[in-house]
Amino acid sequence: MKKYVVIVASGSGKRMGGEIPKQFLKLKEKPILLHTLERVYSFSKEYIILLVLNKEHLHFWEAVIQEYKVDIPHRIVFGGGERFFSVRNALMSIDEKECLVAVHDGVRPLVSAEVFEKCFSLAEVRSNAVTCVGSVDSVRLMSVGGNNESVDRDRVKLIQTPQCFKLSLLKKAYSQHYDKKFTDDASLVENLGRKIYLCEGSRENIKITTPFDLKLAECLL
């Protein structure tokens, strides 16, 4: 099956502060999003890359293409007001009857080829594969009333991207009505009653959302 990679980069990045969306901030002299695109493309030239952007941010990306002479094949899809609508727009642009789709955050530029390969391989067999790592910290669960209790950290998984699925399953998941409880693709698929299959990610595969994350990524890159 063909393999599509949907790179979601339509957010505003409010937690980072500043006027430039975080995906266009520079990480070692190059925009974060360009690092992500280049890394994904380096894994396989057969990946079909869909880059999801906020229409109002298109001029940022056009400037990146011009300044860095980007010639990596990719298609632009305009995102919506929430991640849910952005991913759905990307899925609706895929004409294949069936294929594998990996959804990846544009601000995770340190993902590895090994993680992508494991995710795609598991999804081909199980129809879905969600990247995760275990918690190294102690974990406590807060209740609505403000009480809290200890949770066995060995039972806790921290979810990352890529999250890979067969297209037919993911399109069905995104045919549901939007609900703020859907924080990622896995939660949508799970809401269909489907079992979610986890595959091991990488601690280096951080999501850059704060100035501290940016400094950490500079050290890891």
3-state secondary structure the chain: CCEEEEEEECCCCHHHCCCCCHHHCECCCCEHHHHHHHHHHHHCCCCEEEEEECHHHHHHHHHHHHHHCCCCCCEEEECCCCHHHHHHHHHHCCCCCCCEEEEEECCCCCCCHHHHHHHHHHHHHHCEEEEEEECCCCEEEECCCCCEEEECHHHCEEEEEEEEEEHHHHHHHCCCCCCCCCCCHHHHHHCCCCCCCEEECCCCCCCCCCHHHHHHHHHHC
Q: Supply the pLDDT for residue 19.
A: 77
Q: Is it the case that residue 189 has pLDDT exceeding 90? A: yes
* Interatomic CA distance for residues 165 and 153, integer angstroms: 27
Give the rounded distance of the alpha carbon of 57 from its chain centre: 18
* Interatomic CA distance for residues 179 and 198, integer angstroms: 23
Q: Is it the case that residue 81 has pLDDT exceeding 90? A: no
Domain that holds residue 90: 3-220
Which domain CATH number covers 59? 3.90.550.10
Poorest-pLDDT segment among 82-91, 136-145, 190-199: 136-145
* Interatomic CA distance for residues 180 and 182, integer angstroms: 5
Task: Report the DSSP beta bridge partners of residue 151.
Answer: 139
Q: Supply the pLDDT for residue 105.
A: 97
Residue pair 93/149 in contact (Cβ under 8 Å)? The answer is no
Q: Supply the pLDDT for residue 145.
A: 85
Note the pLDDT tens digit of each residue in 23-42.
Answer: 999 999 999 999 999 999 99
Vertex 196: Cα angle to 105 and 146 (nearest 5)? 80
What does pTM read for this prediction?
0.94
* Interatomic CA distance for residues 53 and 134, integer angstroms: 31
Q: Is it the case that residue 18 has pLDDT exceeding 70? A: no
Percent of the chain with pLDDT over 90: 91
Q: Supply the pLDDT for residue 56.
A: 93
Per-residue confidence band for 15, with pLDDT thresholds at 50, 70 and 90 = low
Average pLDDT value for residue range 209-220? 94
Q: How many domains does the chain fold into?
A: 1
Note the pLDDT tens digit of each residue in 96-149.
Answer: 999 999 999 999 999 999 999 999 999 999 999 999 999 999 999 998 888 999
Tokens encoding 135:
């918690």
The CA-atom distances, in angstroms, between 5 and each of 42, 89, 99, 138, 216 are 13, 14, 11, 34, 25
Q: Supply the pLDDT for residue 207.
A: 97
Per-residue confidence band for 17, with pLDDT thresholds at 50, 70 and 90 = low
Q: Is it the case that residue 51 has pLDDT exceeding 70? A: yes
Q: How would you class 200 by CB atoms within 10 Å of its CB: exposed for 0-12, middle for 13-18, buried for 19 or more?
A: middle
Percent of the chain with pLDDT over 70: 97
